[in-house]
Amino acid sequence: YGWARTINDQPEASLPLLREASVRNATSLSLQYHLAYTLVELENDSEAKRILRRLVKLSAPFEQREQANALLSRIEQAR
């Protein structure tokens, strides 16, 4: 539900939902990516970078690994 709000241009509304979900399911790497993406949308790059750097260092597979790498590169170069 939180991710759906982010991709429907409602990142402010989705952030508390994603934060709560990430606490409840801290092992979901996809959820962590969704949280980081939402933070970037809200221009909170420092927290997003911290999450993304941790994600890309992990060896565990997750669906958004390529997108996480690209998002991290984008925010490190742009801002």
**Residue 12 scores a pLDDT above 70:** yes
Task: Count structural domains, the chain.
Answer: 1
Beta-strand runs (E) in the chain? none
Residue-wise pLDDT tens digits, 14-34:
999 999 999 999 999 999 999
DSSP 3: H
Predicted model pTM? 0.93
Task: Say whether 19 sits in a helix, a strand or coil.
Answer: helix
62 and 52 in contact (C-beta within 8 Å)? Answer: no
Domain that holds residue 16: 2-78
Tell me, what CATH number does 69's domain have? Answer: 1.25.40
H or E element: which one contains 41?
helix 29-41
**Residue 79 scores a pLDDT above 70:** no
